[in-house]
């Protein structure tokens, strides 16, 4: 098979709308733009939340109270059952989890949860661990070492520089 033999799956491609091709085309006269006004003109686009000059809803609503979003910790989560893909006696650390595709970047800490069943003897090196995961890893004969979390002066976890 060559690249020029590939075809899209049936139903994946559609005819483009033929606008302004007369009344009988189904898209005639105003070309699906409605009546007159700002949106009927070419190049027009109204930004999200615009209400025609009226104070938009997001500005009319009071903004009070505390929002914790700025201080949220991003924790990558892995269940114990997912660790079965590592060979017996392997060292499971952050790099190994990234290489295996079990976690993706953009996290501050890695946590192992007790979902599923572990059948391998592993050495686990992560930041956080649930109690049920600890019991399963130790029951399988594995060892656990927790990586200390470095917290910066702003309260966020500092990233390790290698």
Residue 124 is part of a domain; what is its CATH number?
3.100.10.10
**Block residue for tokens 């269940």:** 79
Give the mean model confidence (pLDDT) for residues 56-83. 90
Does 80 map to a domain? yes
User: In this model, does residue 159 exceed pLDDT 70?
Assistant: no
Which residues constitute the domain of residue 141? Answer: 74-146
Token readout for 79 is 């269940």
How far is the C-alpha of 135 from the C-alpha of 144, rounded, in Å? 10
Q: Are 107 and 76 in contact (CB under 8 A)?
A: yes
Does 25 map to a domain? no
pLDDT of residue 162: 45
pTM beyond 0.75: the answer is: no
Token readout for 13 is 């491609």
Q: How many domains does the chain have?
A: 1
Instruction: Choose among 109, 96, 91: nearest CA to 159.
Output: 109
How many residues can be counted in the chain?
A: 162
């Amino acid at each position: 098979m060559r690249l020029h033999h590939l075809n899209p799956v049936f139903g994946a491609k559609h005819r483009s709308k033929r606008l302004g091709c007369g009344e009988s085309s189904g898209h005639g006269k105003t070309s699906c733009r409605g009546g007159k006004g700002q949106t009927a003109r070419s190049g027009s686009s109204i930004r999200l939340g615009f209400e025609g000059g009226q104070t938009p809803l997001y500005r009319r609503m009071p903004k009070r109270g505390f929002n914790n979003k700025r201080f949220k910790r991003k924790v990558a989560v892995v269940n114990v059952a997912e660790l079965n893909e590592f060979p017996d006696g392997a060292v499971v650390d952050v790099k190994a989890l990234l290489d295996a595709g079990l976690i993706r970047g953009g996290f501050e800490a890695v946590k192992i949860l007790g979902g599923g069943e572990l059948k391998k003897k592993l050495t686990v090196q992560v930041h956080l661990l649930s109690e049920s995961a600890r019991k399963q890893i130790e029951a399988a004969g594995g060892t656990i070492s927790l990586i200390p979390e470095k917290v910066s002066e702003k309260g966020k976890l500092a990233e390790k520089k290698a």
